[in-house]
């Protein structure tokens, strides 16, 4: 009888030890994965933000779709404006000669990022298993001026994989799988990120 009790106590001890290990390991795993995945998504959003800025320089507005963004970057040209003093009138410093030249939007983007990227894969959310970023661009009147606005983002549930459940809020009170990780805003001319 005492042998059976010892076996049961050993089994209970093993179960409790596993439960204790899991209760410590689960929040560590959640925070590690959340940070890794969030950093990858933010890095991709920053690339998209830079691509949209180059597109706006070339086209005068933001791209409404990732396809038009890729085509605009591949085929667009960015103006380079150079102002020089007028050599025919050296005494008057208020006169300038304006020279406009153009460079490839693709070269501008790649030199700004410091590397070449696949424009066709910009729309895919890292760790998203095929999920794509939402994208929206338009114009609105802000302080009596017509301005371009843009918003690109994704929800946490799209890239958190096995941690997309709201039950993980117990490890981070600010965690919400429905929260949008984005840059830009369709209601104001602001292209800042919310990270």
Question: Which pLDDT value is given to residue 153?
Answer: 95
Question: Which pLDDT value is given to residue 163?
Answer: 86
Below-50 pLDDT ranges, the chain: none
Question: Which pLDDT value is given to residue 48?
Answer: 94
Question: Which pLDDT value is given to residue 152?
Answer: 95
Are the CB atoms for 44 and 113 separated by under 8 Å? no
Which pTM was predicted? 0.79
Contacts of 181 (CB under 8 A, 6+ apart): 38, 41, 42, 45, 153, 154, 155, 156, 194, 195
Question: Which pLDDT value is given to residue 41?
Answer: 95
């Amino acid at each position: 009888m005492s042998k059976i009790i010892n076996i049961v106590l050993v089994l209970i001890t093993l179960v409790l030890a596993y439960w204790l290990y899991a209760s410590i390991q689960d929040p560590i795993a959640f925070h590690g994965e959340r940070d890794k995945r969030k950093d990858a998504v933010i890095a991709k959003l920053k690339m998209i933000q830079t691509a949209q800025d180059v597109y706006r320089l070339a086209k005068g507005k933001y791209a409404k779709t990732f396809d038009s963004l890729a085509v605009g970057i591949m085929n667009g040209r960015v103006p380079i404006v150079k102002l020089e003093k007028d050599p025919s009138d050296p005494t008057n410093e208020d006169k300038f000669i304006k020279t406009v030249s153009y460079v490839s939007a693709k070269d501008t983007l790649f030199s700004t990022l410091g590397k070449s990227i696949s424009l066709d894969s910009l729309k895919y959310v890292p760790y998203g298993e095929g999920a794509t970023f939402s994208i929206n661009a338009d114009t609105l009147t802000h302080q009596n001026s017509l301005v371009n606005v843009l918003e690109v983002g994704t929800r946490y549930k799209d890239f958190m994989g096995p941690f997309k459940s709201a039950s993980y809020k117990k490890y981070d009170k600010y965690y919400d799988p429905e929260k949008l990780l984005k840059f830009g805003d369709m209601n104001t001319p602001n292209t800042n990120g919310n990270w």
